[in-house]
Amino acid sequence: MMHLLAEFHGDTTPVNAGDFKKYGFGEHKLAHIWVAILESKLVGFALIYDRMNFIKGGVTRTLDLLFVNEAFRQKGIGKALVAIVAKDTVAKGFE
């Protein structure tokens, strides 16, 4: 999926599925990742970071990457990913 995102931007990436699992889901987790699966295929994802905002004094959340495979766009997948991230953000009391 990251290769598709990089290709969309005319770039390449050394990141692979193992990195995605390790840093998004494993014991070395650095980000939160929500995935969209349609027709048994991984078709999109949203990647966020939680961090301390030392100015406002609280945790804030940044949506860093949002991607939907081109073949599955215009089906509400991106909107659904943003909605689930927003719902989780509000539930945790983050900004």
pTM greater than 0.85 (yes/no): no
Q: Quick: pLDDT tens for 64-74.
A: 999 999 999 99
Q: Quick: pLDDT tens for 33-54.
A: 999 999 899 999 999 999 998 9
Contact between 51 and 65 under an 8 Å Cβ cutoff? The reply is: no
CA atoms of 24 and 22, how far apart (whole Å): 6
**Residue 69 backbone dihedrals phi, psi, to 5 degrees:** -50, 135
Over 80: is that where the pLDDT of 95 sits?
no
What's the mean pLDDT in 4-19? 82
Contact between 92 and 58 under an 8 Å Cβ cutoff? The reply is: no
Q: Quick: pLDDT tens for 70-91.
A: 999 999 999 999 999 999 999 9
